[in-house]
């Protein structure tokens, strides 16, 4: 993998040189290069002996050590009719989210290509490893209002593999997509699973201050011999209430068959609200409240008879040091109905921790 990244870097450097030469002639440049790096330190305030946060947290999950959450190098190509993205990545985010993938696939952050199906419409087909169509948070920290990810973001797909048909209206207010997927956050399909997974997405932007979204997933993440169909619905809205105040509200609800062929289902649901305040052009404050209810442990397993029922609250402060660099600090508390958090000596209902991160982003056109 190191060798592959080395040659990718050399190739991209040469590509950048050729791109600059093209720009000097005044021609449009279809290539872009993006490098991203996010380091962090997390302090577990419960003094747990473990260096890991609970298994349902996949970002910034190593404690009492300076570490790398995510670093990637992406090459992109975009014209009116063709587009492609290729990115390799490393970090604790990759270790946690790609653990089941084999070999070099553990480091494939993004790899997709697409082409336009209509000369008159913004109608595309894309295939490969792509960002998930579910949720308003991504794996890239700088794009999110909060430093850490919400519980629902951590436990729904960050990426997906398959094919996507998408259509954007001429006025760019509507976005529609239909997807054929390999599964629930999978590059390689589960062994013994031949059941296609399907997804849909509808996004409406009536103006520049409002975004409304509804996404779905239908499929099974188990071998066909024990297939349990899963149905997931994701709703969210992003509202810029004023120049300095923004609000994001989301609600996810899902069901999964209790057993193969069963007519009864287990259900989970997750509401989340994030408010962001722009204090100065370089300083932002965000507060988040959330609740994850999964009484039967479909998404987040728990040994407690009550299942997983947890509230979360966080407060973060962001400082834009430069156009490329963001420093962030966040305090977060999780409160569960059952004593499920390891404090080193026993199990408690509360988990509190502090995280600080420094991210660097550089893009060339």
Q: Which of 29, 35, 27, 30 is nearest to 9 (CA)?
A: 35
Give mean pLDDT, residues 102-108: 94
Is pLDDT at 296 greater than 70 in this prediction? yes
pLDDT of 20 = 41
pLDDT at 365: 65
Does the pLDDT value for residue 259 go beyond 70? yes
Q: What value, to the nearest 5°, has the Cα angle with vertex 230 and ends 227 and 231?
A: 155
Poorest-pLDDT segment among 84-98, 319-333, 339-353:
339-353
Where do the domains of the chain lie?
Answer: 2-364
- pLDDT band for position 333 (50/70/90)? very high
Q: Taking a C-beta distance cutoff of 8 angstroms, is the pair 75, 30 a contact?
A: no
Low-confidence winner among 24-28, 97-101, 299-303 (lowest mean pLDDT): 24-28
Average pLDDT of span 241-265: 96
3-class DSSP state for residue 111?
Answer: strand
Find the mean pLDDT for residues 358-363: 95
CATH number of the structural domain 2-364: 2.40.160.10
Least confident of 194-208, 230-244, 329-343: 329-343
Q: Determine the 3-state secondary structure of 15 from DSSP.
A: helix
Q: Is 228 exposed, middle or buried (0-12, 13-18, 19+ CB in 10 A)?
A: middle
The predicted pLDDT at position 347 comes to 81
Question: If we measure between CA atoms, which residue out of 254, 197, 252, 199 comes closest to residue 222?
Answer: 197
- DSSP 8-state secondary structure symbol assigned to residue 7: H
Task: Report residue 276 CA to chain centroid gap.
Answer: 19
Which range is least confidently modeled, 20-34, 118-132, 344-358? 20-34
The string of pLDDT tens digits covering residues 44-56 is 998 677 889 999 9
pLDDT of 134 higher than 60: yes
Which tens digit of pLDDT belongs to each residue from 153-209?
Answer: 999 999 999 999 999 999 999 999 999 999 999 999 999 999 999 999 999 999 999
15: Cβ contacts below 8 Å, ≥ 6 apart: 31, 33, 75
CA dihedral angle for residue 55, residue 56, residue 59, residue 62, rounded to 10 degrees: -20
- Say what percent of the chain tops pLDDT 90: 83
Question: Strand pairing partners for 39?
Answer: 68, 358
pTM score above 0.75: yes
CA distance 139 to 181: 19
Give the count of alpha carbons within 13 A of 245, CB side only: 2
pLDDT(80) > 60: yes
Rounded Cα gap, residues 9 and 230, in angstroms: 40
* pLDDT at residue number 220: 95
Kind and range of the H or E element at 24? Answer: helix 2-24
Instruction: Please report the beta strands in 169-209, taking only residues with DSSP state E, as ranges in sequence order.
Output: 174-181, 197-207
The Cα 142–Cα 39 span in angstroms is 12
Return the HEC string of 119-141: CCCEEEEEEEEEECCCCCCCCCH
Per-residue pLDDT, 198:
98
Distance CA 316, CA 331 (A): 6
- Distance of alpha carbon 333 from alpha carbon 53, whole angstroms: 12
Q: Which residue has the tokens 């700088």?
A: 142
C-alpha to C-alpha distance for 62 and 66, rounded to whole angstroms: 8
pLDDT mean over 333-353: 86
pLDDT at 261: 92
Structure tokens at 138: 């991504």
Cβ neighbours of residue 71 under 8 Å, at least 6 residues apart?
36, 37, 38, 89, 90, 91
Q: What is the pLDDT of residue 346?
A: 77
Distance of alpha carbon 292 from its chain centroid, rounded?
17
CA 100 from chain centre, in angstroms, equals 17
Rounded to the nearest integer, the mean pLDDT of the chain is 91
Residue 7 pLDDT grade (very low, low, confident, very high; cuts 50, 70, 90) = very low
pLDDT at 146: 97
Tens of pLDDT, residue by residue over 10-32, are 444 444 444 444 443 444 789 99
């Amino acid at each position: 993998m190191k060798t592959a990244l080395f040659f990718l870097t050399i190739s991209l450097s040469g590509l950048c040189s050729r791109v600059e030469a093209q720009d000097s002639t005044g021609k449009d440049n279809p290539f872009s290069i993006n490098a991203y790096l996010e380091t962090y330190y997390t302090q577990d305030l419960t003094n747990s002996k473990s260096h890991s946060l609970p298994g349902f947290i996949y970002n910034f999950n190593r404690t009492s050590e300076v570490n790398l959450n995510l670093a990637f190098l992406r090459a992109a190509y975009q014209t009116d009719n063709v587009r492609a993205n290729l990115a390799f990545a490393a970090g604790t985010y990759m270790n946690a989210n790609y653990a089941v993938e084999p070999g070099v696939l553990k480091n494939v952050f993004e790899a997709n290509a697409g082409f336009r199906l209509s000369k008159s419409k913004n109608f595309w087909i894309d295939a490969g490893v792509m960002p998930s169509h579910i949720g308003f948070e991504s794996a890239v920290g700088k794009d999110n209002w909060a430093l850490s990810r919400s519980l629902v973001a951590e436990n729904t797909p960050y990426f997906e593999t398959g094919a996507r048909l998408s259509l954007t209206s001429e006025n760019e207010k509507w976005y529609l997509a239909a997807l054929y997927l390999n599964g629930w956050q999978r590059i390689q399909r589960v062994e013994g699973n031949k059941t296609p997974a399907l997804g849909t997405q509808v996004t409406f932007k009536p103006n520049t201050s409002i975004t409304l979204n509804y996404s779905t997933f239908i499929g099974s993440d188990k071998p066909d011999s024990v297939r349990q169909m899963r149905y997931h619905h994701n709703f969210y809205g992003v509202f810029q209430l004023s120049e300095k105040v923004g609000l994001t509200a989301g609600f996810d609800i899902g069901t999964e068959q209790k057993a193969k062929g069963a007519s009864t289902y287990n259900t989970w649901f997750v509401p989340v609200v994030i408010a962001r305040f722009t204090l100065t052009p370089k300083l932002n404050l965000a507060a988040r409240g959330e609740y994850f209810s999964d009484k039967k442990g479909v998404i987040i397993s728990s040994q407690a008879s009550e299942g997983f029922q947890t509230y979360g609250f966080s407060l973060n402060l962001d400082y834009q040091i430069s156009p490329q660099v963001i420093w962030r600090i966040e305090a977060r508390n999780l409160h569960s109905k059952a004593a499920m958090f390891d404090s080193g000596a026993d199990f408690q209902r509360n988990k509190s921790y502090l995280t600080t991160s420094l991210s660097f982003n550089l893009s060339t056109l």
